[in-house]
Structure 1
Amino acid sequence: MRSTSDRIRHAVSFELIGLILVTPLAAFVFHMPLFDIGVVSAGSAVIALLWNYIFNWGFDHAVRRLTGSTRKSQVLRLLHAVLFEVGLLLALMPLIAWYLRIDLWQALIMDAAFAGFYMAYAYVFNLAYDRVFPLAEWKHETA
């Protein structure tokens, strides 16, 4: 199981790298000022940072309880990314609509685009993170 400091390193690095990638991309795709997208991205990142810690802690406990290990198969990694983004989508959509003064439908489309980006990004980031920072318990398990 990951330590608190490891979870904090994971969450902060995930959000910082994500912000660097998504902010200019979203400003370009949605034809909105970089500043406005930056505010939405940064605010979303703060909420996502908290959600990341809480969700990953709960997900790891559930996986460990169900399988006896925190090692994730490819199917579990996909489930992890989808569940994380669905929860975040529900939290962020009304905030995006409010700040950008757009209707909920437009916010849903924008949030879904962010979620699509972040689902792919989360999968790649978490796979890389687990390879760079493997847990000791994984060395004693078979793949």
Structure 2
Amino acid sequence: MFSLQPVTRRITYVVIFELIAVMLSSMILSGMSDRQVTDSLPVAVGVSLIAVVWNYVYNTLFESWERKKGITNRSVTLRVAHTVLFEAGFIVLAVPLFMWWYHVSFVTAFMMELGILVFFLVYTFVFTWLFDKIVPTAASQH
């Protein structure tokens, strides 16, 4: 267990999270598309890039909206809305990539995205839990 400054911790989290995510999602996409893992690697990298950029843009806009509305604490309802809107935006961005790369229909690409979404729900929980155990936040060390 060791500590990092907040910005370094966030960057470390994203880099490690995305590297592992690209490897695992390449394997999942390979299985869903009946292609080699190496054929799915570019789309996994693309989806990872979309996720990082979308996460930054979405959260910047959402937090700006919260400040304008004077919201200081997120209720459960607001957290659910935040998550659903994030995922909806991500689907809008990722599904066309799947359609183009794999030459599949909207429905097939959407189903692939749902499979990836389920994977990421579990992966994010497990990764974040382990990361927090190995690299705790400064606040959790007191």
Cα-Cα RMSD: 3.2
State the SS of the aligned residue for 1:32: coil
Partner Cα separation in structure 2 for residue 84 and residue 10 of structure 1: 19
Confirm whether residue 115 of structure 1 aligns to residue 122 of structure 2.
Answer: no
Q: Which residue of 2 aligns with 1:32?
A: 35
**Cα 1:54–1:127, aligned 2, differ >3 Å: closer, same or farther?**
farther
TM-score by length of 1: 0.70
Deviations 1:11-57 (A, max 9, x none): 11111011222212321233123333111111111111223455677
Which position in structure 2 is the counterpart of 1:105? 107
- Does 2:48 correspond to 1:41? no
User: Match of 1:71?
Assistant: none
- Paired residue secondary structure (1:66): coil
Check whether the contact 2:28–2:116 (CA below 8 A) recurs between aligned residues: no
Q: How many residues align?
A: 130
Q: Does 1:3 align with 2:6?
A: yes
Partner of 1:66: 73
Which 5+ residue runs of structure 1 have no aligned equivalent?
A: 68-74
Residue matched to 2:69: none
* Greater Rg over alpha carbons, structure: 2
Alignment match, 2:129:
127
Identity of aligned residues (%): 30
Which residue is 1:94 aligned to? 96
**Cα deviation code 1:50-89 (max 9, x no counterpart):** 2345567788997xx317xxxxxxx8xx958766544422
Q: Residue 29 of structure 1 aligns to which amino acid in structure 2?
A: M
Are the equivalent residues in 2 in contact too, given 1:85–1:118 (CA < 8 A)?
Answer: no
Residue among 17, 28, 32 paired with 1:14: 17
- Bigger relative CO (Cα 8 Å, ≥ 6 apart): 2
Alignment-derived partner of residue 50 in structure 1: 53
- Taking a change above 3 Å as real, the CA distance of residues 105 and 94 of structure 1, as seen in their structure-2 partners, is same
Rounded to whole Å, the distance in 2 between the matches of 1:38 and 1:94 is: 17
Contact 2:13–2:131 (CA under 8 A) maintained in structure 1: yes
2:45 and 2:22 map into 1 onto residues whose CA distance is 7
TM-score normalized with structure 2 length: 0.71
Q: Which runs of 5+ in 2 are unaligned?
A: 67-71
